[in-house]
Homo-oligomer: A and B are copies of this chain.
């Protein structure tokens, strides 16, 4: 977590049997990836795991040690299978219990709705000692930040709202810039040229994505990096190479 000396990286843990069974299509990973890229924090690993305490603990320990920031989605609701909060606390050795600040937020929310803050809903006030709360403008129940782990909801619009509150607190790196070129030639026809370019511009990431549209084989070439001048130079070289 030496954020000032090495570029930041992020990892994500998607928690939920419903994703792994194919019932639900995860969208939080794609959303987080785009937002982090925008603020210059590359997402370099994602793990999707089941609602299982040992699996959560193992993933949190492995990823929080290896990355600047970790984000989790899922498993912080009121039901028996919502075990993310205590599992993250256990992974990082923090005590956890019903916390007054979180309880007050829930109490106000359910009072306003004329609903009871029952025992099940009170589970959502379980916050580890020392964690900072993450605001939930949709349904009140907060997420939290413990160490470098950001624990957020699985429901996409709540995840997205929580992330909006979290992003300004992160220390980003240089934003990742990208430029792309569409070529109406197959990947195999331009691969040698791309390989030359990748050798010459090893500070940039050069990806190629084949497509087939209306029977035409083509390739989108995407060049990414943090130095705009280098990126421009690579695009000029690329345009020349693929015309040869």
Contact = CB atoms under 8 A, between A and B. Distances in A.
A186 interface: yes
A65 to B, nearest CB: 14
Contacts of A120: 187-189, 191-192, 195
The A interface is mostly helix, strand or loop, or mixed, namely: mixed
A50 to B, nearest CB: 6
Interface string A193-214: 0110010000001111110000
A20 B46 contact: yes
A187 B77 contact: yes
A180 B191 CA distance: 49
Copies in the complex: 2
A210 B20 contact: no
A21 B33 contact: yes
A29 interface: yes
Contact of A50 (B44, B186, B209): B44
Interface size class of A (residues with CB under 8 A): 35 or more
B37 A45 contact: no
Given A44-B20, A118-B188, A210-B155, A80 B198 contact: yes
Given A120-B188, A121-B188, A222-B23, A18 B77 contact: no
Interface string A155-193: 100000000000000000000101000000011110110
Nearest 8 CB-CB pairs, A to B? A120-B191, A22-B34, A22-B33, A46-B48, A121-B188, A80-B195, A78-B188, A78-B191
